């Protein structure tokens, strides 16, 4: 049904929200205060035309906007955009009864994202490499991307050709590209089992193109040079397809907040440590015990520490913290705790932290809702929330990172 709508506000996913009888209607790419026409289907509608535009509407930065599913909100002017992103964190905290000032959004510039999760597909018309169209499985070939590092965009032809070499399926497959300090780290999955001919052709092409590493479904096919990332003074080779912070500037901003807060701690537990994003920086000042469930990530962290110089002792422990969190008695051996869990958060671990006597805690999260839940647990356990800083690691999307810093007064003996 096509109708005219008045947009009341922006929703949590960047959609324009219409307050309708009996509920809400969500219209992507519409802004508050606008009058639009849209084709409605249940609680969603497809924008057809903007009749009265918001004064905050601007020209999008990319020709693919509204087609490519990567960005939700390039059409909102910068100040309003920052306020909306900051508000995502503030509203999540308020929903948990946490009344606190949320810091200004730490912005990340365009052309700064070093990791791209492309979709690739080999068709009768050739190899396609890009992102799925918003709300569909249609693949949009990428000709430009103002979010990604220019080096990735400039190499689109090379990457597309490599995807064509390794493709042994007619189905779409994942093609993850990370720009490291020694070259591209390419991790493909679900592209079909590589034949010997595919392996030889891919190896020749990777070497010729000066790509650092190619892996398929976790198996390294060729690694002319080790992909390297620097965490503080240590260099690390991340595992194939492993977690890496998407934007270097955002990583540095988060690390500065975490290390600054824990600077007085002699011994720090870094939980959900990954490959050492925080551990290896914290080790410049403190002894660190890094705990992580992923064995390859933990091995990468350990290697990075062993080949670094000038760091205090770093120990590692493989442990599924969701199933077996560090207990409050174990945590009491530390002066500081940092944790950076997946989107589901660290509920059970936070229940143990809340019972502990650890004076300094730094919480990093990519999900405001689970962060707010976890902070509520810590606050109810006696922690004082000192600051919350939102960080725009995921430019023009509805995702936002945040770092929360907490302290617990020492008990009088």
**Residue 131 counted as an annotated binding residue:** no
215/262 same-domain check? no
Residue 134 pLDDT? 72
Q: Is 383 annotated as a binding residue?
A: no
pLDDT given at position 142? 86
**Do 31 and 52 share a domain, yes or no?**
yes
Over residues 323-330, the mean pLDDT reads 98
pLDDT at 412 over 70: no
Average pLDDT, the chain: 96
Pair (275, 184) in one structural domain: no
For the segment 5-19, the average pLDDT, to the nearest whole number, is: 95
* pLDDT value of residue 22: 76
Average of pLDDT values for 18-39?
Answer: 94
On whether both 207 and 256 belong to a single domain, the answer is no
Give the helix/strand (H/E) hosting 94.
helix 78-95
- Residues 73-97, mean pLDDT to the nearest whole number: 97
- Look up residue 101 and give its two tokens: 């000032």
Stretch 263-281: mean pLDDT? 98
Q: Report if residue 236 sits inside a domain.
A: no
320 is in an annotated binding site: no
Cβ proximity of 184 and 212 under 8 Å: yes
How does pLDDT run across 244-271, given as a tens digit for each residue?
A: 999 999 999 999 999 999 999 999 999 9
Say what percent of the chain tops pLDDT 70: 99
Q: Within 10 Å of residue 14's Cβ, how many Cβ atoms?
A: 24
pTM exceeds 0.85 for this model? yes
CATH number of the domain within which 139 lies: 2.40.50.1070
| Local confidence band at 15 (pLDDT 50, 70, 90 cut-offs) | very high
pLDDT at 36 over 80: yes
Q: Of the candidates 187, 207, 222, which is a domain's last residue?
A: 222
How far is it, in rounded angstroms, from Cα 373 to Cα 377? 7
What pLDDT shows up at residue 45? 94
| In a domain? residue 237 | no
Whether 318 maps to a domain, the answer reads yes
3-state secondary structure 268-326: EEEECCCCCCCHHHHCCCCEEEEEECCHHHHHHHHHHHHCCCCCCCEEEEECCCCCCCC
CB-neighbour burial class of residue 55 (10 A; exposed 0-12, middle 13-18, buried 19+):
exposed
Q: Which domain holds residue 180?
A: 115-222
* Per-residue pLDDT tens digits for 188-211: 999 999 999 999 999 999 999 999
Q: Is 46 part of any domain?
A: yes
- Do 301 and 215 have their domain in common? no
In this structure, are 192 and 210 located in the same domain? yes
Residue 412 lies in a domain: no
Q: Kindly tell me if the per-residue pLDDT of 66 is higher than 70.
A: yes
How confident is the model at residue 330, as a pLDDT? Answer: 98
Query: Are 211 and 165 within one domain?
Result: yes
> Are residues 286 and 183 part of one domain?
no
- CATH number of the domain within which 46 lies: 2.40.50.140
pLDDT at 232 over 50: yes
Considering the domain architecture, whether residues 308 and 390 belong to the same structural domain is answered as yes
Token pair for residue 35? Answer: 């009058």
Residue 188 lies in a domain: yes
Question: CATH code at 295?
Answer: 3.40.50.150
Split at pLDDT 50, 70, 90, the class of 174 is very high
Q: Which pLDDT belongs to residue 413?
A: 43
Say if residue 159's pLDDT is above 90: yes
The pLDDT confidence band at residue 1, using thresholds 50, 70 and 90, is confident
The residue annotated as part of the active site, out of 68, 145, 350, 366, is 366
108 is catalytic: no
pLDDT of 285 over the 60 cut? yes
245 among annotated binding-site residues: yes
- Contact partners, residue 95, CB within 8 Å, separation at least 6: 369, 372
For residues 386 and 251, state if they share a domain. yes
**Assigned domain for 52 exists:** yes
Domain count, the chain: 3
Structural domain includes residue 72: no
Between 271 and 124, the more confident residue is 271
Tens digits of residue pLDDT in 366-394: 999 999 999 999 999 999 999 999 999 99
Do 344 and 198 lie in a common domain? no
Give the residue among 180, 199, 248 at the shortest CA–CA distance from 393: 248
Predicted confidence at residue 124, as pLDDT, reads 87
Q: Determine contact, residues 67/47, Cβ cutoff 8 Å.
A: no
What are the residues facing 183 on neighbouring strands?
Answer: 180
What is the Cα Rg of the chain in Å? 23
- In the chain, % of residues over pLDDT 90: 92
Q: Give yes or no: residues 308 and 339 share one domain.
A: yes
Q: What is the structure's pLDDT at 51?
A: 97
């Amino acid at each position: 049904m096509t109708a005219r709508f008045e947009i009341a506000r922006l929703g949590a996913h960047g959609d324009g929200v219409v307050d309708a009888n009996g509920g809400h209607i969500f219209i992507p790419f519409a802004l508050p205060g606008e009058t639009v026409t849209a084709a409605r289907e249940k609680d969603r509608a497809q924008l057809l035309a903007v009749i009265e535009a918001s004064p905050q509407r601007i020209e999008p930065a990319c020709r693919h906007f509204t087609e490519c599913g990567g960005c939700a909100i390039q059409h909102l002017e910068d100040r309003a955009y920052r306020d909306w992103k900051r508000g995502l964190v503030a509203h999540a905290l308020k929903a948990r009864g946490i009344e606190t000032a949320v810091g200004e959004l730490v912005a990340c510039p365009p052309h700064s994202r070093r990791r791209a999760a492309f979709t690739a597909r080999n068709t009768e018309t050739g190899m396609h490499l890009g992102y799925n169209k918003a709300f569909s499985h249609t693949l949009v070939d990428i000709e430009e991307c103002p979010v990604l590092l220019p080096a990735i965009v400039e190499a689109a032809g090379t990457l597309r050709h490599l995807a064509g070499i390794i493709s042994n399926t007619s189905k779409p497959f994942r093609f993850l590209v990370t720009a490291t300090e020694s070259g591209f780290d390419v991790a493909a999955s679900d592209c079909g089992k590589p034949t010997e001919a595919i392996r030889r052709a891919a190896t020749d092409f990777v070497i010729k193109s000066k790509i650092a590493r190619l892996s398929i479904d976790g198996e390294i096919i060729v690694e002319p040079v080790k992909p390297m990332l620097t965490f503080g003074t240590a260099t690390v080779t991340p595992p194939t397809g492993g977690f890496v912070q998407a934007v270097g500037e955002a990583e540095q901003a988060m690390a500065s907040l975490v290390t600054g807060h824990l600077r007085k701690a002699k011994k720090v537990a870094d939980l959900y440590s990954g490959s050492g994003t925080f551990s290896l920086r914290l080790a410049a000042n403190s002894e660190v015990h890094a705990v992580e469930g992923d064995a390859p990530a933990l091995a990468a962290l350990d290697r990075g520490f062993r080949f670094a110089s000038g760091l205090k002792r770093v120990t590692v422990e493989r442990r599924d913290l969701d199933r077996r969190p560090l207990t409050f008695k174990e945590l009491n051996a530390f002066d500081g705790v940092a944790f950076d869990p997946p989107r589901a958060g660290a509920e059970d671990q936070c229940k143990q932290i809340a019972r502990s006597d650890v004076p300094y805690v730094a919480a990093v999260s990519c999900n405001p809702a689970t962060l707010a839940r976890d902070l509520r647990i810590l606050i109810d356990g006696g922690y004082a929330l000192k600051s919350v800083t939102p960080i725009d690691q995921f430019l023009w999307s509805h995702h936002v990172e945040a770092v929360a810093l907490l302290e617990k007064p020492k008990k009088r003996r």
